[in-house]
Amino acid sequence: MRLPVDARRWAAAGFAVALLAGVAALFWTTQTEAGHARVLALTLRVLGGRLQGRLAIERIRGNLLAGARLDGLHLLDPRGDTLLAADSAYVRYDLRTLFGSVIVLRHVELYRPRVWIQRLPGDSLWNYELVFRDTTPGDTAGGTVLRVDTLRLLDAIVRVRQPWTPSPGEDTTRLDLRLVPGGRWLQRTFRFDSLAVANLVYGSLDRVGLGAELVQARGQLALWRGEPLRIRAARGRLRLRHDSLQVRLPELRLPASRGAFEAFVRLGDSLRYELAAEVDRAALADLRWLLPRVPRQGVLRARVLYRSDGPRQFLWVDSLDVDTPGTRLRGRLAVRFGDTVQVNDTDLRARPFDPTLLTKILPFPLPVDHLRVRAATFRTTER
């Protein structure tokens, strides 16, 4: 049935009014301070309900349909300890995914973020696992998955704290150990002038874990007391599960060094790890974070495998070439040590011979006062 002309006009007018009201509401929501306050309250209520902690944002700005700028960002774990604090953040997102099982953030920038990743003595879960774990009853799909296309951190500090039980006789003088209720913490501090990653995916660590491509990194890693590891550039991939971390860096540049690096770390109260490096060229001064006794002048080239399993450790070095003022050391070596020290498949040549250089380039002191050599050849000149 055809509506009368007046009815059609009233319907068109009603539709126009509804459309204008919708546009006005959208404008009020996305462009005005009062609208931002309403969106902020809704955001905190929705996201806070999906977190097992507390999210606080002081102010939200921008066109909220596609992205927003957040001021005063704080994320607390269930105990009330800070997991993340940032002066400000910019987020571009896919609005359709914010309420689904896979949240997609197109781009995230964090300015002056401070991150505390920690696990207390006696706990089985890290604080970020407590915050992001899915507690939906009967969930078998792996919970919520977060995908970030690009992530950039500027002027960031990340502190990792974990329970630490040293092995009997272990040298802890270079470790940053702190007393906490129930035991001791080992703390490592990472400072990044800039850090950029891509294709970050995070979900349940038992099922999805965390994976990301490292695009660029520049900063200092304080793994031990003393000089930090200074990174000028790094590129590669990382994968984190509940009990393990894998890192592969085909490009790693220090102030005067370059090479490739891989690591597999078994997380626990005592670290167990395997490190491999292809050192194209390393200034010895760049290695003092790991080898504090090494000379400040000189250059090293080598292929290295280092494995630590509690008190037992293994070092294999091939294509070794250490050139320092006064001596040059070349060859290969393999050392196993724990209760005893075993030297196997070792062929080292030096010109001239400096017996102290080898002890300085090892990542551990040899636990012997005297060394008996079963067979050795010394030459005053190299053939």
Band the pLDDT of 28: cuts 50, 70, 90.
Answer: very low
User: What's the pLDDT at 115?
Assistant: 96
Is residue 7 a part of any domain in this protein? no
Q: Are residues 225 and 89 in the same domain?
A: yes
Is residue 3 a part of any domain in this protein? no
User: What's the pLDDT at 352?
Assistant: 81
Q: Are residues 74 and 160 in the same domain?
A: yes
Residue 375 DSSP symbol: S
Exposed, middle or buried, 98 (CB in 10 Å: 0-12/13-18/19+)?
middle
Q: Are residues 266 and 208 in the same domain?
A: no
Is residue 17 a part of any domain in this protein? no
What is the model's pTM?
0.80
- Ranges of H-type helices in 97-205: 127-132
Q: Which tokens is 169 given?
A: 């006789």
**Continuous segment of H or E residues that includes residue 258:** strand 257-266
Give tens-digit pLDDT for 334-363: 988 777 778 888 888 888 877 788 778 877
Is residue 293 a part of any domain in this protein? yes
User: What percent of the chain lies above the pLDDT cut of 90?
Assistant: 39
Is residue 268 a part of any domain in this protein? yes
Give tens-digit pLDDT for 217-253: 999 999 888 899 999 999 999 998 877 889 999 999 9
Query: Average pLDDT of the chain?
Result: 80
Give tens-digit pLDDT for 149-182: 999 999 999 999 988 887 777 778 888 998 888 8
Residue 45 CA to residue 42 CA, distance in Å, equals 5
Residue 371 has pLDDT above 60, yes or no: no
Q: At 5, give phi and psi (nearest 5°).
A: -60, -45
User: What's the pLDDT at 250?
Assistant: 97
Q: Are residues 232 and 249 in the same domain?
A: no
Band the pLDDT of 30: cuts 50, 70, 90.
Answer: very low
Q: Give the three-class secondary structure for 130.
A: helix
What is the domain count for the chain?
Answer: 2
Is residue 361 a part of any domain in this protein? yes
Q: Are residues 318 and 237 in the same domain?
A: no
* Domain residue limits at 341: 243-383
Give tens-digit pLDDT for 61-117: 876 666 788 899 999 999 999 999 999 999 888 777 777 778 888 999 999 999 999
Compare 273 and 26 and report the one with higher pLDDT. Answer: 273
Compare 15 and 303 and report the one with higher pLDDT. Answer: 303
Give tens-digit pLDDT for 31-64: 545 444 555 445 555 555 567 888 888 888 876 6
Residue after which a domain boundary falls, among 242, 268, 295: 242
Residue 334 CA to residue 314 CA, distance in Å, equals 7
* Partners of 291 in beta bridges: none
Q: Are residues 248 and 337 in the same domain?
A: yes
Q: Give the three-class secondary structure for 97.
A: helix
Low-confidence winner among 29-38, 130-139, 202-211, 288-297 (lowest mean pLDDT): 29-38
Contact 57, 44 (CB under 8 A): yes
Q: Are residues 212 and 279 in the same domain?
A: no
User: What's the pLDDT at 358?
Assistant: 78
Band the pLDDT of 11: cuts 50, 70, 90.
Answer: very low
Q: Are residues 236 and 248 in the same domain?
A: no
Is residue 11 a part of any domain in this protein? no
Q: Are residues 177 and 308 in the same domain?
A: no
Residue 339 CA to residue 174 CA, distance in Å, equals 21
Compare 38 and 281 and report the one with higher pLDDT. Answer: 281
Is residue 22 a part of any domain in this protein? no
Exposed, middle or buried, 84 (CB in 10 Å: 0-12/13-18/19+)?
buried
Q: Are residues 125 and 172 in the same domain?
A: yes
Residue after which a domain boundary falls, among 208, 242, 276: 242
Compare 5 and 296 and report the one with higher pLDDT. Answer: 296
Q: Are residues 76 and 86 in the same domain?
A: yes
Helices H, strands E: what count in the chain?
A: 4, 18
User: What's the pLDDT at 212?
Assistant: 95
User: What's the pLDDT at 193?
Assistant: 98
Q: Are residues 124 and 136 in the same domain?
A: yes
Residue after which a domain boundary falls, among 226, 242, 258: 242
Compare 319 and 48 and report the one with higher pLDDT. Answer: 319
